[in-house]
């Protein structure tokens, strides 16, 4: 049965939203920067939130709002991953979970490996945990992006105590293979280091790639790793504050259970209610329709760049709705997003914020209607020769 792609909301409706995407810039700017999407909520989420608001169910989050079991069911159904719900705890968002686990598995001043170009809060989170950043950039193989396992090995041999992994990777959309993840686990185990895997984009892996949860890649990965994830990116729930921290064995589960109770108290009740609805099998049809739309958009973006910015370099991502685009051939400086906003009135994310490897790059959010994406790239294209 063919899947009908999800349709974005009309621009005039979206401009009534009060979130970051729609309140940072004026109405003349097309916002393709922050990771929010332009689609209606999944019906089960809308229904669950409506009921909660009608009941005034806006108090404190209970000890078990159902998220753990809902996530375990979702993982089994979507990723063929067996998760023990007793090894799952909730918190407010993925970066909260990451920083608290980092605090638990490192000492102040320890180095933590990150793999730029990478989501800017990774650097901030490592520093918030009292640690130092040890950058080991991704390798550009010419066909894809890959972890530099030798570089990570060297960084851990030099004293780094943890690896902060992005799987799937933001901003490149790379889905790391099972073999790569298992190799990373072996390296971490040899050095007695932890791996914390941000897997928030996992529900949006496309059919031509295979997502492997880090903890499911090998027995060593389950022993050294932690996964932190949320339905918030796929289902556009970031403002409601709910994420899960997952451990793969009893030793790491003890670390997660030992985190201060306040870490779990930060879970928003509406976030928990919405997450349970998002992770329910009844929302799978909506998720598949979203993936179908994003699949079309990631390919549309390639066509639009070829037509309007033919010197741009872009690899169609394996996952997510974020595109990593190299515009350095146009000579618009290290941070092309600045000129693009000022002259084309399109907001894209600033490449240098993802690390030095982001010079000349922008990150483009294509989680929007095709007409918005088409207009945005056409506007940027008009800067060529201007």
- Do 205 and 344 lie in one domain? The reply is no
Residue 386 scores a pLDDT above 70: no
Q: What is the mean pLDDT of the chain?
A: 98
Reference 272, options 40, 70, 108; nearest CA is 70
Q: What is the pLDDT of residues 3-38, one digit of tens each?
A: 999 999 999 999 999 999 999 999 999 999 999 999
Residue 129 scores a pLDDT above 70: yes
Q: What is the CATH number of the domain that holds 54?
A: 3.40.640.10
5 inside domain? no
Domain boundary residue, one of 264, 282, 300: 282
Distance CA 314, CA 323 (A): 7
Q: What is the pLDDT of residues 81-99, one digit of tens each?
A: 999 999 999 999 999 999 9
386 inside domain? no
Q: What is the pLDDT of residues 297-329, one digit of tens each?
A: 999 999 999 999 999 999 999 999 999 999 999
| Predicted local distance difference test score (pLDDT) of residue 2 | 86
Prediction pTM value: 0.97
DSSP string, 198-259: E-TTGGGB-TTS----GGGS-HHHHHHEEEEE-SHHHHT-GGG--EEEEESSHHHHHHHHTS
Domain boundary residue, one of 282, 305, 340: 282
- Do 210 and 317 lie in one domain? The reply is no
What is the average pLDDT across 52-70?
97
| Predicted local distance difference test score (pLDDT) of residue 385 | 74
1 inside domain? no
Provide the domain count of the chain. Answer: 2
| Predicted local distance difference test score (pLDDT) of residue 26 | 97
Domain boundary residue, one of 255, 282, 309: 282
Residue 113's domain comprises: 46-282
173 inside domain? yes
- H or E segment at 100? helix 94-105
Q: What is the CATH number of the domain that holds 354?
A: 3.90.1150.10
Q: What is the dihedral of CA 350, 355, 359, 363, to 10 degrees?
A: -40
What is the average pLDDT across 186-208?
98
């Amino acid at each position: 049965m063919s899947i009908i792609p999800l349709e974005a909301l009309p621009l005039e409706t979206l401009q009534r939203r009060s979130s970051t995407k729609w309140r940072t810039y004026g109405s003349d700017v097309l916002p393709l920067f922050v990771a929010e999407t332009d689609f209606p909520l999944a019906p089960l989420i809308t229904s669950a939130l409506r009921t909660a608001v009608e009941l005034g169910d806006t108090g404190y989050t209970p000890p078990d709002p159902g998220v753990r079991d809902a996530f375990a069911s979702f993982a089994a159904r979507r990723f063929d991953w067996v998760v023990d719900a007793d090894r799952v705890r909730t918190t407010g968002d993925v970066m909260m979970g990451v920083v608290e686990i980092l605090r638990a598995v490192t000492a102040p001043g320890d180095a933590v490996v990150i793999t730029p170009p990478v989501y800017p809060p990774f650097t901030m989170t490592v520093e918030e945990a009292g640690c130092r950043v040890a950058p080991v950039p991704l390798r550009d193989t010419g066909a894809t992006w890959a972890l530099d396992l030798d570089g990570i090995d060297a960084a851990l041999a030099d004293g780094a105590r943890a690896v902060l992994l992005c799987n799937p990777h933001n901003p490149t959309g790379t889905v790391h293979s099972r073999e790569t993840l298992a190799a990373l686990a072996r390296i971490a185990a040899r050095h007695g280091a932890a791996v914390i895997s941000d897997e928030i984009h996992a529900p949006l892996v496309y059919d031509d790639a295979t997502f492997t949860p880090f903890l499911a890649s090998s027995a060593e990965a389950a022993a050294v790793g932690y996964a932190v994830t949320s339905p918030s990116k796929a289902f556009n729930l970031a403002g409601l504050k709910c994420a899960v921290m997952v451990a793969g064995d009893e030793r790491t589960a003890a670390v997660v259970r030992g985190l201060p109770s306040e870490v779990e108290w930060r879970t928003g009740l509406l976030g928990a209610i919405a997450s349970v609805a998002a992770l329910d099998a009844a929302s799978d049809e909506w998720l598949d329709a979203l993936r179908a739309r994003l699949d079309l958009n990631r390919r549309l973006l390639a066509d639009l760049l070829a037509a309007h910015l033919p010197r741009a370099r872009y690899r169609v991502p394996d996952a997510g709705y974020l595109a990593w685009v190299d515009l350095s051939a146009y000579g618009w400086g290290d941070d092309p997003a600045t000129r693009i906003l000022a002259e084309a009135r399109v907001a894209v994310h600033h490449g240098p914020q993802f690390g030095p490897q982001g010079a000349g790059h922008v990150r483009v959010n294509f989680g929007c209607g095709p007409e918005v994406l088409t207009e945005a790239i056409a506007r940027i294209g008009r800067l060529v020769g201007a």
